[in-house]
Amino acid sequence: MSLKPQEVAPLNALRRHVLSWLSDAFHAQETGGLSWHWSAFRARKAWQPSKEAIERFLLSHEPLESDLLVIGGSAGWMMSSKWLSRFNAVTIIDIDPLARLFFALIHGKALKASGTSWHFERRDALKELPQLLKEHPKALVFFDNVLGQQCFRLKDEERVERLLGQLKRTLQGRTWGSIHDVYSGPIDVASPQGKAPLIRPEHILSFDCQFGEMLSKDAPLEHKTKAARSARAPEFEAQPKHMVLDGTKTSFEEGAQTLLQSVNASGEWQDHLSVEVFAPDTPSVMIPWFFKPNYCHWLQAAMVVN
């Protein structure tokens, strides 16, 4: 017995829906899913110092908005319940269908106690951002460790840089913030010559940071940071002209060195192509995150009040 074309189409649509649901539940296009939940659950104690640094950053911003739109919120493993509780209503957007369940387990009780209503929607927030902004005209928009993952999802450098570089224009007139990976890579856990690194998993320090305006892509190679001394940094394609770290203006090369050396970077580091998310010279905080005992991420966090 063969099916008629009008019977095949809905079956194909259902098949596509089930496959996309399963694939996003497992790995969320290489940005999350079950593997993220498992890593976050196992590492919850080790990640606590970075989580506390993120909470300090979030709580230092007293929101004027009563609604919050969290993009890529997942289960909120690194998110502060205290900050979420400051809002009347929280909407979490994520492509991972399992995120709702884990979010309820992690934040449900605190949000119930504060009377904060929350709901979850499974959507591609980056594709649908203009529509989401229309649906939530008064909400503070927060990108929760999702923008630095787009290099894994899209696997096209230029597309990622274009997408991330233009977000600030789409968000003009809105109050928004983001925390995202900027650089990540291996670290040398055995400190060289017995000298302890400035930052260790149990001793987290953040840097106030501003990235300067971008160097033109056509700038001669000798103006670009190619190889760091303590680590083989990626050949930063898009790189700022300068950096300000804890109030001191340096070249990008020097600033990158400070970040890498302070965690004993070694081996090849990854550029997450997210350095242009914020406009040049936006005050931000760089927070180290020891993702694994021998692997560290530098997260950049800032709020933009328009």
Ligand X SMILES: C[S@@+](CC[C@H](N)C(=O)[O-])C[C@H]1O[C@@H](n2cnc3c(N)ncnc32)[C@H](O)[C@@H]1O
Residues in contact with ligand X by CB under 6 A are 28, 31-32, 36, 40, 72-79, 93-96, 99, 124-126, 144-146, 149, 153
Nearer to ligand X (CB atom), residue 35 or residue 248 = 35
The one-letter code for the residue type at 58 is: L
- Shortest Å distance, C-beta 60 to ligand X: 18
Nearer to ligand X (CB atom), residue 124 or residue 281 = 124
The H or E element spanning position 11 is: helix 5-26
- Shortest Å distance, C-beta 126 to ligand X: 4
- Shortest Å distance, C-beta 70 to ligand X: 8
Q: Residues 6 or more apart from 103 whose CB is under 8 A from it?
A: 73, 74, 75, 76, 92, 118, 120
Nearer to ligand X (CB atom), residue 99 or residue 233 = 99
Angle formed at CA 241 by CA 236 and CA 242, multiple of 5 degrees: 105
- Shortest Å distance, C-beta 71 to ligand X: 6
152 class by beta-carbon count within 10 Å (0-12 exposed, 13-18 middle, 19+ buried): middle
Nearer to ligand X (CB atom), residue 36 or residue 252 = 36
203 class by beta-carbon count within 10 Å (0-12 exposed, 13-18 middle, 19+ buried): exposed
**Do the bridges between strand 284-292 and strand 207-211 make them parallel or antiparallel, or are there none, so unpaired?**
antiparallel
Nearer to ligand X (CB atom), residue 75 or residue 187 = 75
- Shortest Å distance, C-beta 32 to ligand X: 3
